[in-house]
């Protein structure tokens, strides 16, 4: 009986040991399963997040025929309250003669203004020479002439600057508007070779900065139709179609030159439509050193008017079509303003 009881206990212990071992193995398996489960959960969760954007492809190399073009954009660095050089730039028929009267009035009434308006015929002719020699900067006849006249312009600017340094009254030199043998220096300028006879504001700005002088450019604007009335009907420079083409080409040229220089060099004006107050407030300080409201009489020769032209001129569909081609070109100048 005693041995039977011990045997029964041994069997029971053995069974318990087997059960414990089995339970331990199950726990180990369950632990491994749970760990695997968590790993799978993490993979599922990470796969549900949006995938990051792939790195952008590097920019393709430019095509062999694409060339980056640069140009000499002229920055205005020279400003003076004592000496300024003024160039009035505009197409034929945009009132150069009106602005000539303004500066002539200023020069003939020196006691009325705190500045002197003057000109230098030598310098004006160096810029544009209407003689047969064609020794002007803007209409040089040969390559050698062009190089020499560039140096002559710089020398002349230096001479004027040295003289002005000893003056107590500010001085304005008007570079064009009929002084010397140079014509008005409009776009175009002169009766011959009109396709290439025009000033160059980009070149002039370059030389002014090289010479350390303060250049100011007054850009004249006007309605295309009234420009053509002035040049075709009143001054008889050519037929409507030829004048529209010539002026359109010159408008593009002037716009390109303005595009290549600092906007601080120039200010635009619609001469006929500009009120007295606008001339005084917007143009006075730009053009004249020490300008103030009491000096407004300098603009006296130009009176504001409604510059719309004669509605009976260039009124046919064909004439309006030709006029519109110039209007588009003039719009390029307006865009720069």
Residue 65, pLDDT score: 42
Global model pTM greater than 0.75: yes
The pLDDT score that the predictor gives to residue 56 is: 52
By the 8 A CB rule, do 170 and 290 touch?
yes
Which residues, at least 6 apart from 161, have a Cβ–Cβ distance to it below 8 Å?
83, 211, 212, 213
CA 146 to CA 316: how far, in whole Å? 45
Mutual orientation of helices 240-259 and 317-336 as an angle, nearest 10°?
Answer: 10
pLDDT at residue 10 in the model: 45
Would you say 172 and 86 are in contact if contact means Cβ atoms under 8 Å apart?
Answer: yes
Give pLDDT, residue 70: 61
The residues that bridge with 117 in the sheet, in sequence order, are 172
- Domain 83-223+254-305, CATH class in plain words: alpha beta
As a whole number of angstroms, the distance between CA 194 and CA 211 comes to: 30
* Dihedral sign from CA coordinates of 176, 179, 181, 187: positive
Q: Residue 44: what pLDDT?
A: 36
Q: Residues with Cβ < 8 Å from 207, sequence gap 6 or more?
A: 137, 150, 153, 154, 157
3-state secondary structure of 116: strand
Output the six-digit token pair for 156. Answer: 């002349």
Question: What is the sign of the dihedral through the CA atoms of 5, 10, 15 and 20?
Answer: positive
According to the model, what pLDDT value does residue 245 have? 96
Please say whether the beta carbons of 90 and 201 come within 8 A.
no
How far is residue 44 from each of residues 37, 41, 53, 209, 317, measured CA to CA in Å?
Answer: 10, 5, 19, 70, 75
Nearest-5° Cα angle at 182, 172 to 141: 125
Both structure tokens of 301: 């020769």
Separation between Cα atoms, residue 83 and residue 165, nearest integer Å: 8
> Tokens 């000033």 label which residue?
199
Residues of the chain with pLDDT under 70: 1-71, 132, 305-306
């Amino acid at each position: 009986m005693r041995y039977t009881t011990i045997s029964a206990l041994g069997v029971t212990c053995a069974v318990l040991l087997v059960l414990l071992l089995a339970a331990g193995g199950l726990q180990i398996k369950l632990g491994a399963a749970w760990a695997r489960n968590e790993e799978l959960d993490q993979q599922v969760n990470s796969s549900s997040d949006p995938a990051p954007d792939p790195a952008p492809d590097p920019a393709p190399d430019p095509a062999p025929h694409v060339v980056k073009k640069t140009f000499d954009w002229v920055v205005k660095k020279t400003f003076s309250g004592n000496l300024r050089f003024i160039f009035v730039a505009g197409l034929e028929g945009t009132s150069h003669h009106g602005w000539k009267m303004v500066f002539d009035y200023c020069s003939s009434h020196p006691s009325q203004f705190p500045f002197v308006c003057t000109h230098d015929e030598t310098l004006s002719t160096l810029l544009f020479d209407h003689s047969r020699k064609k020794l002007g900067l803007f209409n040089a006849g040969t390559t050698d002439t062009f190089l020499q006249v560039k140096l002559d312009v710089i020398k002349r600017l230096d001479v004027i600057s040295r003289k002005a340094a000893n003056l107590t009254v500010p001085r304005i030199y008007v570079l064009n508007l009929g002084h010397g043998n140079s014509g008005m220096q409009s776009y175009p300028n002169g009766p011959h070779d009109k396709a290439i006879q025009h000033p160059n504001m980009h070149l002039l700005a370059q030389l002014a900065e090289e010479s350390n002088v303060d250049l100011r450019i007054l850009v004249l604007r006007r309605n295309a139709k009234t420009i053509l009335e002035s040049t075709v009907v009143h001054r008889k420079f050519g037929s409507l179609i030829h004048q529209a083409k010539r002026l359109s080409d010159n408008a593009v040229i002037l716009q390109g030159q303005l595009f290549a220089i600092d906007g601080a060099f120039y200010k635009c004006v619609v001469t006929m439509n500009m009120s007295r107050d606008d001339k005084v407030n917007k143009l006075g300080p730009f053009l004249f050193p020490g300008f103030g409201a009491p000096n407004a009489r300098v603009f006296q020769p130009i009176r504001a008017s409604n510059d719309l032209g004669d509605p009976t001129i260039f009124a046919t569909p064909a004439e309006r079509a030709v006029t519109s081609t110039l209007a588009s070109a003039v719009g390029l100048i307006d865009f720069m303003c």
